[in-house]
Amino acid sequence: MESNNEGELDVIICNVVATFRTGCRLNLHTIGSKGKNVIYNTRRGKVTMQLRKPRITASIWASGKVICIGASSEDEAKLGARRIARCLQKLGFKVKFSAFKVVNVMAGCSMPFKISLIDFTKKNRPIATYEPELYPAAMYTMRQPKATIKVFSTGSVTILAPSVVNVAAAVQHVYPLLSECRRPL
């Protein structure tokens, strides 16, 4: 999360959340008793399955909906989701991997300077909010491209967006705004 010597920022993807459907109903008790690396939570009505490669945690519901969390790229999320579907097939379910969608991407980067959050929110008033009593970061919500950016006074930035493309576009959009609000050393 450092800036490299060419003046570009290194944006690191921390988490990719994806969903898919199996196309069939699933018996959670069977998955919980016969599956590997699973936890069956009867109160919540779901099974949690973990993979080691790629490192993904999947929440599986009886309706056939699956949410995969923890991937570090969109390709890794798809590979992990397909591996989860294959594990369910091996347990005897007629799974058809369908409706795969990346839902959320979380990324972070560090600006090469510190930021005055009060100046940042004053200059970007309707879009940016900063309430230091509630949260130590300023929130900047973009509509186009869709993204939510958390800006900390240390220069650390966290981006939440529906795709990696939106993350990159959000960083390019917010960088000039942040450089205007540099905190003097």
Gap between the Cα atoms of 49 and 37, Å rounded: 6
| Best CATH choice for the domain 16-104 from the list 3.40.50.300, 3.40.50.2300, 3.30.310.10, 3.70.10.10 | 3.30.310.10
Looking at residue 3, its pLDDT comes to 42
Q: What would the pLDDT profile of 132-171 be if each residue is shown by its tens digit?
A: 999 999 999 999 889 999 999 999 999 999 999 999 999 9
pLDDT digits (tens, 9 = 90+) for 79-95: 999 999 999 999 999 99
| Confidence category of residue 5, pLDDT binned at 50, 70, 90 | very low
pLDDT digits (tens, 9 = 90+) for 100-139: 999 999 999 999 899 999 999 999 988 999 999 999 999 9
CATH annotation of 111-183? 3.30.310.10
- CA-wise closest residue to 2 among 136, 169, 155: 155
**Quick one: pLDDT band at residue 7, thresholds 50, 70, 90?**
low
Q: Which of residues 60 and 183 earns the better pLDDT score? A: 60
Say if residues 47 and 35 touch (Cβ distance below 8 Å).
Answer: yes
Q: Which of 96, 118, 133, 102 is nearest to 182 (CA)?
A: 118
Q: How confident is the model at residue 41 (pLDDT cuts 50, 70, 90)?
A: confident
Residues carrying CATH 3.30.310.10, the chain: 16-104, 111-183
**178, amino acid identity:** L
- In the Cβ-directed half-sphere of 55, how many Cα atoms lie within 13 Å? 4
Q: What's the confidence (pLDDT) of residue 6?
A: 43
Where does the pLDDT of residue 173 fall: very low under 50, low under 70, confident under 90, or very high at 90 and above? very high
Query: What's the CA gap between 122 and 155, in Å, rounded?
Result: 17
Per-residue confidence (pLDDT) for residue 8, from 0 to 100: 72
Distance CA 159, CA 37 (A): 31
pLDDT above 90 (res 4)? no
The predicted model scores a pTM of: 0.85
